Amino acid sequence: MPENFDAVFIGAGHNTLAAALHLAAKGWRVGVFERASVAGGAVKTGEYTLPGFRHDWAAMNLSLFAGSPFFKEHGAELSRHGAEFVPVTKPFASAFPDGRWCGVSTDMAATTARIAALSARDAQTWGQLVQGFGAEAPHLFGLLGSPMQFRALAYFMFKTLRAKGLGGTLDMGRFLLQSPRQWLEQTFESPQVRAMLGAWGMHLDFAPDVAGGALFPYLEGMAGQAFGMALGKGGADTIVKALVAAITARGGVVEVNAQVARILHDGARAGGIELADGRRIMAARAVIAGVAPGALPRLTGGTTPTFDKAMAGFTHAPGTMMIHLATDSLPDWAAGEELKTFAYVHLAPSLDQMARTYQQAQAGLLPDEPILVVGQPSGQDPSRAPEGKHVLWLQVRMTPGTIKGDAKGEITATDWAQAAEPMAERALDILERYAPGTRAKILGRHIVTPAALEADNPNLVGGDSVCGSHHMAQHFLFRPARGHADGSTPLKNLHLTGAGVWPGGGTGAGPGYLLARKLVGN
């Protein structure tokens, strides 16, 4: 006998869970079915090295979630179910090979002083940007939170024109089209300040010379200054556990170890799903697939040639390699002891270095000098490790999903099973240069290659941690394809959500929340 729901979800990533909770709060009966043994997708936490050391698998920064419209509406309920954040006043910094460093904290005077040590003019510019952020933020966040439909965009443009005038609106449009390098070099004179901010573009597939990427260094810099960062208390999975508990409390179902084999439809309308074990789960109002766009035609067996071709052609960013370390203590940063107090330390010395690393990864080469994002969450949240001990969260950006060679000419392996250890050693060599003695502090380590990321979560194709490039041809109205940025598909009642749908990657739950609001009308 088939099970029946109003809405059935494929996958239990944070976007599908957010959509499921919103629908459940509006009275829909929801069922979420996840192939993995735990919910959360890329947002999960586990003891991957040693007992008592809690590591965030992929996502660590929950600022977007904590500040999202979804959390504003459902935060009280999630808090009752255990969601808890650790506020971070020192969100990010960059260390440089010459022994200098620069970082952004919510203490404006301290940030300005650090920048002034590199450039007095840049410190003045920073102050002007911060002062103007309050006026710019509503327009930029309004765009990023707006449904990508012509009516919604027309209304957004009308409001922007009325507030900023034609000249101001055109300036904003030009800014949105700029590459990180264009904006950073036009705005700051210090190469270190440019690199500190430019590193954020690499988080979203925006290398320094990729058009459309200027927005992200700007927003991360201004948001870090204004709000700091939010980490999950005890791990990023605090939001996932709360979402599951809230959905269950409202009568919904979240089932793990439940592989979806296909979407049931009659060629015009989707009516449910079939699991790998043969069970049929019926959906009266919606089937919502939280999958990478390329997976959708395999689940439907095909819809229309145009749509299926667009989904199959969805482009993914280069991969990410994760290294989880259990350590005796935090790194002893050569540039200064204060770096221990920052949540993120970027080891991305210059825009040129980032551009070279990106091009090497795009060409299928293991980068000779990858960019490192060193997360120090236990410095902010001691509950993540035994007393006096720490965890380090290393993202190695960028790395190819499929290895064609080694830019340094040292690693001969072309499959990740053999390349993992030598590539991890290359990354740790870099960390050791910036923080001598770190290797001796390591108590346990766990390497997650791009291949392992995809095996754990098929949405992360080639280890692409943001489920799809955010370049201009695949962003805004074109994410994942023209006419479908709202998650719609050619089949009635079948919808796509997740990071492959506008507004894209990150932990803000925007794709799931926007879809759920569309389905219920608010």
Six-digit token string for 192: 């270190």
- What are the E-state strand segments in 418-493? 442-448
What residues are paired with 447 via a beta bridge? 323
Q: Specify the pLDDT at position 151.
A: 66
Q: Which residues contact 332 (CB under 8 A, 6 or more apart)?
A: 435, 436, 437, 438
Domains for the chain: give ranges and CATH numbers: 3-45+59-86+235-314+466-520 (3.50.50.60), 122-227 (no CATH), 318-456 (3.90.660)
| Contact of 7 with 23, CB cutoff 8 Å | yes
Mean pLDDT, range 83-96, rounded to an integer: 98
From the CB of residue 142, how many other CB atoms can be counted at a distance below 10 Å? 14
The values of phi and psi at residue 391, to 5°, are: -120, 145
Q: How confident is the model at residue 119 (pLDDT cuts 50, 70, 90)?
A: very high
| Contact of 187 with 125, CB cutoff 8 Å | yes
Q: Which helix (H) or strand (E) holds 95?
A: strand 92-95
pLDDT in tens, 290-318: 999 999 999 999 999 999 999 999 999 99
| Contact of 353 with 369, CB cutoff 8 Å | yes
* Closest among 1, 61, 60, 196 to 115, alpha carbons compared: 196
Q: Specify the pLDDT at position 154.
A: 64
Task: Return d(Cα 120, Cα 132) in angstroms, integer.
Answer: 19
Q: Is residue 52 left, alpha or beta, with left meaning phi > 0 and alpha meaning psi from -120 to 50?
A: left
Q: Quick check: helix, strand or coil at residue 450?
A: helix
Residue 376 in this model has a pLDDT that exceeds 90:
yes
Q: How confident is the model at residue 137 (pLDDT cuts 50, 70, 90)?
A: confident
Q: What share of the chain is helix, strand, coil (3-state, %, to 5)?
A: 45, 20, 35
Q: How confident is the model at residue 201 (pLDDT cuts 50, 70, 90)?
A: very high
Q: First and final CA of the chain: distance in angstroms?
A: 33
| Contact of 201 with 213, CB cutoff 8 Å | yes
Q: How confident is the model at residue 156 (pLDDT cuts 50, 70, 90)?
A: low
Q: Using the 8-state DSSP alphabet, how is residue 40 labeled?
A: B
Q: Specify the pLDDT at position 170.
A: 80
Q: How confident is the model at residue 132 (pLDDT cuts 50, 70, 90)?
A: very high
Q: How confident is the model at residue 522 (pLDDT cuts 50, 70, 90)?
A: confident
| Contact of 432 with 265, CB cutoff 8 Å | no
- What are the E-state strand segments in 198-267? 229-232, 253-255, 260-265
Q: Measured at the alpha carbon of residue 392, what is the angle toward residues 381 and 54, in degrees to the nearest 5?
A: 55
Q: Which residues contact 10 (CB under 8 A, 6 or more apart)?
A: 16, 33, 260, 263, 273, 287, 288, 289, 290, 291, 299
From the CB of residue 139, how many other CB atoms can be counted at a distance below 10 Å? 17
